[in-house]
């Protein structure tokens, strides 16, 4: 291909997807492609999809239709989890030309070349069964932080989840390769790395390495001032990991630990690997060693067989716990999962009511956490956004702040004292 073609990327779903899209687009930029915004007219549109909920799939379909409207003659490539799980459905969407699964998406350039060579421009479909190898990636579009993929896939097979089918078995990079990539990211001037994956606590198990050993090595990298751990399973969060974060100058006081339900009956039905008591033990240990730590969690409401009393048990537990805030997910039935075969369904009305109650409680918990930090001085890494004359940043313990836009603050870590929260629940800082 000699002619320069415009290519646009759109990412849906998790931080891991953003990391992988960034790596793919970076590779395309070194070839004969011009990267343009997804909202622009482009020769090629690439949509990295998510299939974690029915709503996520609807967003994927909507994005495909948007691309087709912008340029009906464009090549549309659909990659990622939705295309992995529902290949036939994706192929039947008007305008779709190329469908690539979770690992095959990293061969996007050659797949586009092959597609252009086909005389009748038939749809390119690749095998989606080869998710056995770890393919590294990291994001680079953000000028302040990079999402570093350290692990992929999952062996847990939770009853509601399709990720093991979409991404395959758990696998990870080696410690040596991860440290090398982290140093390369640091050399670009970024000030924060976020460790991402599907089940990052499972890092290294098949390489005879451990997540704790990785953290110890990353903690030695003096070139990067901030490292944040993304979501981790309670059963894989050890005392040693908590102690390392507590004593580190690099790892930030912020944990995202999945709960899903505080009812042990529901947790067992979900095929989760822990009890509420273990989760509580983990977060109390964190608060004991890191009192100002932000602790976020995920909770699913409306899981099949979740009775009103089960939900109230979860609600009461969250209210009394040291959790800072909650990501609330309404249960979405996924085909071929164990939970889809449970006969006792929760009505849409009950799901909506439970979601509203938990969202309200989460907002209350977050406001309380922010209030507890008033008067404290933290270091904030400022981002490059300019929204109505303000730029934003986050403290070490993930408290959001904003100040009047000043381009010289971008990617700077500055000390700020938290004083006043605006009506949006964000600390306003005068610098």
Residue 239 burial (CB < 10 Å; 0-12/13-18/19+)?
exposed
pLDDT greater than 70 at residue 125: no
**How many angstroms separate the first and last alpha carbons of the chain?**
51
Q: What is the pTM of this model?
A: 0.92
Are 219 and 359 contained in the same domain? yes
pLDDT, residue 87, reads: 87
Task: Read off the pLDDT band of 179 (50, 70, 90).
Answer: very high
At 292 the three-state DSSP class reads coil
Q: Please tell me the distance from the alpha carbon of residue 294 to that of residue 82, in angstroms, as a whole number.
A: 32
pLDDT greater than 70 at residue 346: yes
Token pair listed for 412: 């700077």
Q: Which domain holds residue 302?
A: 145-372
Domain boundary among 346, 372, 398: 372
Alpha-carbon dihedral sign for residues 302, 307, 310, 314 = positive
CATH number at residue 81: 3.40.50.12160
What angle do the packed helices 239-247 and 276-289 form, to 10 degrees? 20
Are 278 and 391 contained in the same domain? no
Least confident of 91-105, 123-137, 358-372, 415-429: 123-137
The mean pLDDT value for 361-368 works out to: 98
Are 29 and 98 contained in the same domain? yes
The mean pLDDT value for 370-376 works out to: 97
Domain boundary among 325, 355, 372: 372
Give the residue, 174 or 54, on which the prediction is more confident: 174
Are 284 and 381 contained in the same domain? no
* DSSP class per residue in 128-178: S--TTS----B--SSSSEEEEE-EE--S---TT--HHHHH-S-EE--HHHH
Q: Are 110 and 79 in contact (CB under 8 A)?
A: no
Q: Which residues contact 299 (CB under 8 A, 6 or more apart)?
A: 259, 260, 261, 314, 318, 326, 327, 328, 329, 358
Domain boundary among 372, 387, 410: 372
The mean pLDDT value for 223-238 works out to: 97
Are 265 and 284 contained in the same domain? yes
Are 75 and 149 contained in the same domain? no
In a domain, 132, yes or no: no
pLDDT greater than 60 at residue 128: no
At 20 the three-state DSSP class reads helix
The mean pLDDT value for 274-290 works out to: 99
| Interval 293-336: pLDDT, tens | 999 999 999 999 999 999 999 999 999 999 999 999 999 999 99
In a domain, 136, yes or no: no
Neighbours of 23 (CB within 10 A): 18
Are 20 and 91 contained in the same domain? yes
State how many domains the chain has.
3
In a domain, 14, yes or no: yes
Are 112 and 203 contained in the same domain? no
**Beta-strand pair 390-394/377-382:** antiparallel
Token pair listed for 67: 């691309």
């Amino acid at each position: 291909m000699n002619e320069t073609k415009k290519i646009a990327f759109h990412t849906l779903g998790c931080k891991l997807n953003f990391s992988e899209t960034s790596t793919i687009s970076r590779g395309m930029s070194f070839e004969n492609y011009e990267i343009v915004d997804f909202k622009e007219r482009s020769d090629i549109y690439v949509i990295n999809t998510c299939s974690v909920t029915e709503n996520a799939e609807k967003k994927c379909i909507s994005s495909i239709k948007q691309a087709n409207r912008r340029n009906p003659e464009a090549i549309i490539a659909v990659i990622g989890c939705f295309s992995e799980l529902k290949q036939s459905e994706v192929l039947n969407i008007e305008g779709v030309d190329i469908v690539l699964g979770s690992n095959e998406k990293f061969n996007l350039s050659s797949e586009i070349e092959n597609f252009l060579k086909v005389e009748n421009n038939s749809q390119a479909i690749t095998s989606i069964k080869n998710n056995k190898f770890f393919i590294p990636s990291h994001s680079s579009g953000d000028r302040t932080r990079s999402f570093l993929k350290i692990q992929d896939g999952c062996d847990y097979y939770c009853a509601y989840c399709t990720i093991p089918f979409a991404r395959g078995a758990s696998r990870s990079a080696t410690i040596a390769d991860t440290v090398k990539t982290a140093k390369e990211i640091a050399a670009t001037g970024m000030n924060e790395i976020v460790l991402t994956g599907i089940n990052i606590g499972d890092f290294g198990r098949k390489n005879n390495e451990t997540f704790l050993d990785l953290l110890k090595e990353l903690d030695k990298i003096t070139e990067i001032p901030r490292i944040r751990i993304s979501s981790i399973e309670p059963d894989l969060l050890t005392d040693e990991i908590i102690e390392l974060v507590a004593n580190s100058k690099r790892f930030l006081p912020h944990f995202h630990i999945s709960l899903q339900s505080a009812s042990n009956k529901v947790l067992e039905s979900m095929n989760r690997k822990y009890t509420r008591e273990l989760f509580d033990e983990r977060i109390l240990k964190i608060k004991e060693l890191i009192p100002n730590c932000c602790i976020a969690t995920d909770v699913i409401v409306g899981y099949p067989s979740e009775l009103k009393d089960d939900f109230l048990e979860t609600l009461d537990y969250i209210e009394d716990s040291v959790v800072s805030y909650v990501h609330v997910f309404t249960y979405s039935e996924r085909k071929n999962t164990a939970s889809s075969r449970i006969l006792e369904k929760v009505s849409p009305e009950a799901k909506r009511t439970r979601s509203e109650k938990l969202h309200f409680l989460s907002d209350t918990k977050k406001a309380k956490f922010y209030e507890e930090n008033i008067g404290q001085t933290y270091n904030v890494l400022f981002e490059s956004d300019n929204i109505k004359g303000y730029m934003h940043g986050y403290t070490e313990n993930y408290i959001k702040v904003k100040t009047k836009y000043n381009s010289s603050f971008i990617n700077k870590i500055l000390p700020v004292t938290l004083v006043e929260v605006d009506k949006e629940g964000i600390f306003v800082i005068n610098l």
